[in-house]
Structures are given as C-alpha cells and as structure tokens.
Amino acid sequence: MLNISLIQIQYLIALDEHRNFIKAAEASFVTQPTLSMQIKKLEEELGVVLFDRSKQPIEPTAIGREIIAQAKQIYRETAHIEDILKSFTGEVSGTLKIGVLPTISNSLLPKLISLVSKNYPDLKLHIKEELTANIIQELHEDKLDVGIVSTPLHDSSIIERPLYNEKFRLYLNSSHPAYDKKSLDVEDLLMDKIWLLSEGNCFRTQTINLCKLPEEKLNHLGLVYESGSMHTLKKIVDMEGGATIMPEWEAGQLDDESLNNLRAFKEDGAGRQVGLIYTKYYAKEGIINILEQLIKKALPLYVAENTNLEIVEM
C-alpha cells in the first residue's frame, strides 16, 4: 500500500506547473528544500523518477506525466469533499477563478462584481480576460475554474450552461452612406469600411459568418486595422468613418450621442449565445449555480428577453 500524502500531491502539481523547484516552492508558500525533500520522498515511495532534473527547465519523465495526470484527478476529487461540506452548511466562500471574453467583460463584469460583493462578500473573484481557446486550455490546466464565452463550442471535454442571447448591433459613422436608414442589410454595410476585432476573437468570426463574407472580401473593402477592443473600434469609426458590429449589451451602454449612431439589421433575428463553461472535473457545483443566478440577475431586460434568436456560431 502506497503511503502518499495530499501535500506531496500538491507539491507535485506545483512543480509540474512551474518546472522549477524555487518557483514551485514560492507558489506553495514553503522553502525550496522542503518541497525538494517531499518530492524526493514521493519518488522513493513510488520507486520511479518523476522529473528529469538534467534539463532546464525540468521536465516530467514519461512515467512522471502519467502520475501527475492521476495526481491532478486525485486533487480535484479531494477538493470536492470541501465543496460538499460548504453546500451542506450553506457557506459560500473561497476563490473563484473566471476567464471571460473581452467582448463580454465590459458589459457584464461591473454588474456581476457588484452583485457578488453585496450578496457573497466571502467569495473572492479572480477574473482575467482571455480568448476562448486560452480559456479552454486554462480550464483543463486548472488555472481557471469557469469561463464565460460564446457558445456552443461543440467540445465534448467541456460542460456548457447557456446564460443569455444578445443581438448584433451596427455602429456607424455619421458619414456612412447608409446612415439615414433605420435598419441595414449586409449590402448597406459593405458600402464603406468595416472595422473588426483581431484574429482569434470569436466575435470577429461570428461577424464574418453573419455577413457571409470571406476574409479576402473584407480586406478588399478597406480593412487595414484589427483591434482587440470594441471600445477602440468605436473610436476608430468615430474618427475614420465606416462601421463596426457590436454586441447588443455593450451597444446599449453607449452615451446618448453615440446611441444615435446605432442601427439594427433588417433581419433582426440573429445573435450570439453566451454561456458558462467548465470541465467535468470541476467540483464546485453550488458556486456554479450561484454564478449562473447572479449573471442572469445582472441582465438588462432587452437582453433577457432574447429567447428565440438564431445563434450565429463561430
């Protein structure tokens, strides 16, 4: 019967993440000799070498990679015990690590943070803006607990919970040839420059799919700059002309003057779905339920009412 401690498993996971004994010890709040000693004891107990120390940074051995993968699963299951206890007592505390798309964060996060602060002051949020691919990777690496992204993803390794749907809105410069129209179709949009988010952003892909345009067509229309920020795109439209496409919730938060530049599509039935994503190993089901409730509570009515949109996929 193997004699392995949970603290050794924690140190093993930390060393795999940082690939350096000093950095792993700092992340684990222990001295480097302490961590090194525990890893050595673990290797002696198992009878195998877990890390190739001749390489810099160090790397797991072949058997080390398999044992580390199992160690992560053990650690997740152990964390589930704490979640069961908190659910039983009704306690909502600890840290929740959230990854969120930049095109979602500006509209959702201020309201969500306020609701968490008022209702669950012992729940600490660690939030980072990332693209969908990075969020999925960090979920699998246990660097994030949950993501808020455009769904569906069609990824069998990820669990999805749809949260809300939002329509697409057009933001035009007052010089745009179609500015006087109350609603636009794709042909109207193509009469001037189109400013889009940078490569890798799912909202860019959804925009292209919505308009059914190949990349080379967009470039031919004068796309000379790509941004990662909707706010930046709006300012570029204001200064350089043309148009961009915005999520409905972010568009609804523009100032009164800018609201005059918003238009809808003539066929106003398309939009994107936003959902929570997490892996099947994530144990904090109670926290997920609370987060889902708070996000839905944060929705403005005009977004909450979007129940029958045609979802434009990535």
CATH number, domain containing residue 13: 1.10.10.10
177 with 263, same domain: the answer is yes
> Domain of 263: which CATH number?
3.40.190.10
Q: What is the pLDDT of residue 2?
A: 79
Whether 1 is in a domain gets the answer no
Question: What is the domain extent for residue 25?
Answer: 6-87
Q: What is the pLDDT of residue 209?
A: 73
159 with 282, same domain: the answer is yes
Whether 205 is in a domain gets the answer yes
Tokens 């939009």 sit at which residue? 271
68, 87, 106: which is the final residue of a domain? 87
256 with 281, same domain: the answer is no
189 with 220, same domain: the answer is yes
Whether 232 is in a domain gets the answer yes
- Three-state DSSP class for residue 261: coil
Cis? peptide before 57, omega within 30° of 0: yes
Whether 314 is in a domain gets the answer no
122 with 211, same domain: the answer is no
CA-CA distance, 50 to 38, in Å (whole number)? 12
User: 170 near 186, Cβ under 8 Å?
Assistant: no
156 with 302, same domain: the answer is yes
- Name the residue among 134, 153, 265, 272 with its Cα closest to residue 203: 272
147 with 202, same domain: the answer is no
53 with 71, same domain: the answer is yes
Give the CA distances from residue 282 to residues 54, 88, 272, 277, 289, in Å, rounded to whole numbers and listed in that order: 35, 18, 25, 10, 13
- Name the residue among 123, 116, 155, 152 with its Cα closest to residue 139: 155
Q: What is the pLDDT of residue 219?
A: 44
Tokens 């066929």 sit at which residue? 267
Whether 154 is in a domain gets the answer yes
In total, how many domains does the chain have? 3
> Within 13 Å and on the Cβ side, how many CA atoms surround 217?
11
Q: What is the pLDDT of residue 220?
A: 39
Whether 128 is in a domain gets the answer yes
154 with 171, same domain: the answer is no
What pTM does this model have?
A: 0.74
Whether 16 is in a domain gets the answer yes
Q: What is the pLDDT of residue 52?
A: 93
196 with 127, same domain: the answer is no
277 with 159, same domain: the answer is yes
pLDDT along the chain (314 residues), means of 10: 87 93 92 94 92 91 92 80 59 81 91 92 90 92 90 91 92 92 84 77 75 55 56 87 89 86 82 90 79 94 84 68
Indicate the DSSP class of residue 120.
-
34, 60, 87: which is the final residue of a domain? 87
Q: What is the pLDDT of residue 299?
A: 94
Whether 139 is in a domain gets the answer yes
For residue 40, count CB atoms less than 10 angstroms from its CB and return exposed for 0-12, middle for 13-18, buried for 19 or more: exposed
158 with 289, same domain: the answer is yes
